[in-house]
Each structure stands twice: as C-alpha cells, then as structure tokens.
A and B are shown apart, each in its own frame.
Chain A
Amino acid sequence: MNETPVWASESFWKKTAIWVTAGAFLILVVLTFDSLSQTSAGGKRVPAYSVINKKIDYVYDAKLHKFMPVIGEQELLFGKEFSETEAEQLVMLGKKTTQAKNCMNCHTLLGNGAYYAPDLTKAWLDQGWINKEAREKMMIEFLMHPEKNARTFGSNRKMPNLGITEDEAKGVVAFLKWMSSIDTNGFPHNFKTINAEE
C-alpha cells in the first residue's frame, strides 16, 4: 500500500520536467530561426528600408479580415530618393534616436512601451498630421520643439523638449515611415489613415 505510484514519484516528474523543458525550448529555437528569416528587412512582412521612398497606406483587406499595409507608387521623403544604404543609415539614426530619447517610456512602439502617450506603430499615417503636404514639416517641427507645437488634444500632456536635432528628427520620421509599412497581423484594428480622407 505504501508504494508510490509512478505518476506521483519524484523520478517520473524529474524526467518529465527535463523532457518537457528541452522539447519546448527546441521548438522555440526552430521557430526563432524561421521567424527571424521571415522578418528580415527586405522580406514580405518587414519591407526594405528604401520603402521610405514609397507611398504607404494601411487598409482593410476583406478577404483576410484584417488591416494590411499597402505599399504604393513613389512618394519621396524630404523630396529625395534614398538608396537602400542611405535609407538604412537614416532609419538607423532614427531608431537610435528613439532609444536615446527613451521614447518607449511614454509611447508604445508596435504596442509595447508605456501608456502615457500615443502608439507610434502607424504614427506616420495618423490623421493628426492634417494632410500629406503639411505632414513632414509638422513632424520635424514637433519633434524638435514639442513644447511650442504641443499636440495635447485637450489632455494637457505635453511632450518635453528632448534636444532632438534636425538630422535626428528626419531620422525619426524615416524610422516611423518605415515602421508603418510592417505587416503587424492587423494591429491596430480599424485605424483610418491620413490617406482615407482623400
């Protein structure tokens, strides 16, 4: 009667713990290789950095039942066509600036971060920039002097001046434009872009 059944024994669960952990980790490693190769810049899900030369939109795909980024014809940023290397340099400057200025501890990027300021995933496409002609200039001015160009929407929450230079601001805009082209499986849902008004 005192014999411990297998399912309650220490050694059974020890072996189970080892096999389950090793198995789950192995699957994770395989999926990691697959995910990284599917999401390298220049693939279908994450476009090449030179996508900043193109028009980007985000529309509902009735067949897929979700919103999808749509990359259109040429629509230059700052009136310049960037080569792939130049585009990557500019986006890199922008990305480093978003880290150096700690954007993520007020904003969310791809929905991750803090919740004190709006999500930046589709910030490039936001209707808050009034129209496409005004957008680039408004974004640069806002990033460089947020306290003078406050966009508080009645909340009184102002972005502080973070000492962003003009080059850095251009980099951030390029980074945001590139980020808006990533296929995020339909997040955010129901987002109406600046193009929708036209």
Chain B
Amino acid sequence: MNAKELCEKSRASMSEFKTWVALDVSNLSPGQQLAVKYFSVAVILFFAQLLFGMIAATQFIFPNFLYGWLDFSVNRMVHINAMVVWMLYGFIGCTYWLLEEESGTEIVGLKLGELAFWVLTGAVTLVVLVYLLIQTGAGKDSTLWFINEGREYIEAPRWADIGIVIVMLIFFYNVVATFSKGKWSGIAGVLTLDLVALAGMYTAGMFYMTNITHEQFWWWWVIHLWVEATWEVLVGVIMAWSLMKLLGVKRQIVTTWLYIEVALMFGSGILGLGHHYFWIGTPEYWLAIGGFFSALEPIPLVAMVVHAMYDAGSHSFKNSNHPAVAWIIAQAFGNFFGAGVWGFMHTLPQINLYTHGTQWSASHGHLAFFGAYATINIAFFYLAIQHWRGGVWMSGGTANAWRWKWALGLLNAGVLGMTIALLIAGYEQSFIERATEGSSWGGYFAAQNHPSFQSAMVWRWFFGLMTFSGLILLIWDLLTIGKDETRKVQEIIQH
C-alpha cells in the first residue's frame, strides 16, 4: 500500500468513526469547540498514562519484561508525565468551556488559543517520542535541553519548558482579556489569580543546579505548589461552577465557599510545602512548620466534601446529568481520602522518617491524583459530551446506563485496590527496609523480596487491570452516551 492509499484509507475510517459517534459540533460555542479539543487529547493521554503504568507494574513482577528496550525508568516517566499533562489539558479545557458563559462574551483570542493548542499538542508528541526512542543522553547541558531533564514529574526538556510557558501565557491572556471584555465575577477573580501562580511556579523548575539541596528546594515549589495548592484551587473553581450549572446552586453560596476554600487551601498548603523539606538538607525548623501546616491540609478538603454534599442534598440531587454528578461526588470523597487522609497518614516527620521514599508515597499518589483531579475532569467530560449531543437527558435510567455505572465502579474500585496494595507494600518497606535494616541497599532488597511485598505487587497489577478496563469502558461510554436519547435536559433553575 502506498502513502496515498494509506492516507485515503485513514481518512475514510476517520469519517466512518465520525458517522458512528454522530456528534454535532454545531451544538457547541466556539470556546466549547476549543475545550473539547483539549478534552480529546486529555483522554488519549489518560489512556497512555494507564498503558505505561501497566507496563511498569508488570516490571515489578517480571523485571526482565522489555528490559533494555523500555526500561522501568522510561515507562514510569511516561506514566507520570502523561498524567500531569492530561490533567493540565483537562483543566485548560474546563476553563475554556466555562469562560464564555462566565464572562458573558466571546473568547478574545480564539485563533491564538487554537494555535496554542496545536503547538502544545505537537510539542507533547515530540517530547514523548524522544522519551521513548532516544530515552537518555550524555551528562551535559544539551541532554537537559533536548532529551530529558531527569527531574521527576517535570522531565520535559528545557525547550519544551519554554514552549509550555508561552502556551500558558497565551491561555492566561485569553482568560484575562475575555473577562475584561465581558464581566468579572468572584469565580473569575480566583481563577485569574490562581493561573498567575500556576504559570509563575513553573518557571521555578527551569534551572539547572549542581547543589541538589537547592535543586530539590525549587523543584518542590513547582510540584507541591502546583499539586497541593494551585491545582486544588483550580478544582475549587471548576467545582463551584459545575455545582451552579448542574444543580442550580446559588452563585453567592458557591462564591463564598470558594473564598473559604482558598483561605484554607493556601493558608495550609503554602507552608505545608515544608513537609517536603524534612530530609533534603534544609534547616530543622521545617520539621515543625511542615508538620504543623500539612496537618491542617485536610481541613479545606473536608470543607469541600461538606460543600458538595450539602449542595447536592439540598437540591435533592435533581439534575439531568447523573454521571457528572456521580463523578463530582467521587471527587469530593476521593480528594478528601486520597489527598487529605492518605497524605496526613505519613506527613508528620516522626512517621515520615520511616515512610519517606517508600511505596507509601505511591499509595498516596495514586489515590490523591485520581481522587482529586481525574474525577473532576471526568465529570467535566460528561458535561461536555452532553452539550455536544445537543443537551440530551443523561440519567441512571437511560439505555446503556450500565456503561457509565460500571466505568465509575471499575475505575474507583481499581484505584482504591491499587492504593491498598501499595499501602501494604509501604508498611512492609517501612518496617523491614527502614526501621530494621536502616535503608541500606541490602535492606531495600530484603523488603522488595519479602513475600508480602511481592504479593502486594501482584494485587496492584490486577487492580491496575481493573482500572484500565474501567477506562476503556469510560471511553466507549463517552463516545456513545445519549446517542439515541431524544428527551432534552430540564432547565436548571438557580435557587
């Protein structure tokens, strides 16, 4: 088959696919059309995250699997990078989605936003290809600029960092200019200030330093202040807007709650950064500051649960998009347990001395990232697909509703299962590797070879597979939900 035939064939199957999904783009406003582009890439990257996670999980059980071709370090890097990037795509998509409605006007730089989308997507594709095909380089600056910076979560080479900052600036311009042209609101204000912080923090991670204490100090500015502060506030914004739209909660109530959440989140989260400064060479006072403030970090998450549950309850759960509301409830609990409880469990320095750098962190990471961020994005995907279908009724009782229910169940149970398996592995590591053996290489492997660790890795693999099958079902459901539905959504009245 020559290139032309291949091209035609793929075009034909693409149009076949489009006929099959039968989504009408004229149901969406221009801003929403841009948003669903971001959502589509987010879902593809979500798939990549789980695929490479499964490969890495397999290597824990069969270390020779793909050894020398796709080593653990590569798979793990793609696993966590795909996660960070798909969540960012999701957040940008959510913002573009609500921007027009919230500001009451058209997006100012829509063309620029489109361009930024294609630039970012091209850059992400190139970075991943280099990760997979070139993998590592010599120990010099050119490697850090063009292949891999080798810093967990922000491995993207420096050229891509600069590209990301430019794309974020365009995105930021669109948000500010659109609100300025239309109208500002409490939600708009919080969103804007949060994006300033989000973009600003990223630049803290764009420098090479030989002094590893300084390097990790700034590295945590990006990772912690993103994930445990600015991302959480961004989710608060998205949640506030969703509760208004889905359940008809009064604007004044969500705005007041949002301010409370910002006060609690930044009040605890900014200095909660200290829990990453226990053991990297930084002064001892961080043990007290980090311990104290990170102990407060669950409080805003409790507030968010109360907020979501109270609003949902007081509106008797009356709404026309059951999957989205179900995922928002999953977010409230997942955020509280994953980020709040699982984070608090090992955040005090007296405990962290034994748990730091073990599977405890992986256990917390899995439940927190899923509970806090994957869930809210999935809720928004359902919101988007409902509009894309032309505003049809989506409830627990419609045809094929088993798909979204099973996807919800499999994804949540799968991640929870992985979390428990990793927690058992983490406990075992803390006892054997840390407390008894003192963290030597011999102690590390004594813990890794222990039957309870090994069986935990097998359990993790099976729950990973459960999560993966949940995602496949979710994608199938997103493509088909509401296809044959003719009933329209009820109008949501704010009260």
Contact = CB atoms under 8 A, between A and B. Distances in A.
Interface of A: 8-10, 13-14, 16-17, 20-21, 24-25, 27-28, 31-32, 34-36, 38-41, 45-46, 49, 88, 91-106, 108-116, 118-119, 121-123, 126-128, 147, 151-158, 160-165, 168, 171, 179, 182-192
A163 B289 CA distance: 42
B213 A128 contact: no
A129 to B, nearest CB: 9
Given A8-B256, A38-B283, 10 more contacts: A21-B267, A40-B214, A92-B210, A99-B139, A99-B143, A100-B138, A115-B362, A168-B138, A184-B281, A187-B353
A192 B442 CA distance: 11
Contacts of A8: 256
B77 interface: yes
Contacts of A106: 71-73, 76
A109 B442 contact: no
A93 B138 CA distance: 10
Interface string B72-83: 111011000000
A168 B432 CA distance: 33
A19 B289 CA distance: 19
B26 interface: no
B208 A96 contact: yes
B438 A17 contact: no
B20 interface: no
Nearest to B278: A185
Contact of A13 (B59, B68, B259, B445): B259
Contacts, number: 261
28 contacts: A10-B252, A14-B259, A20-B263, A21-B270, A27-B271, A28-B270, A31-B289, A32-B217, A35-B217, A38-B282, A41-B210, A99-B148, A104-B150, A105-B74, A111-B279, A116-B59, A126-B441, A153-B442, A153-B448, A156-B63, A160-B71, A163-B138, A182-B213, A184-B280, A185-B279, A189-B354, A191-B438, A191-B439
Among A99, A121, A162, the most chain B Cβ lie within 10 Å of the Cβ of: A99
Given A184-B281, A190-B434, A101 B439 contact: no
Contacts of A27: 271
Interface in B452-482: none
Contacts of A38: 282-283
Interface string B256-285: 100110110011001101001111111111
A128 B444 CA distance: 11
A147 B63 CA distance: 13
B186 A14 contact: yes
Given A100-B148, A190-B434, A13 B256 contact: yes
B435 interface: yes
B144 interface: yes
Contacts of B271: 24, 27-28
A67 to B, nearest CB: 9
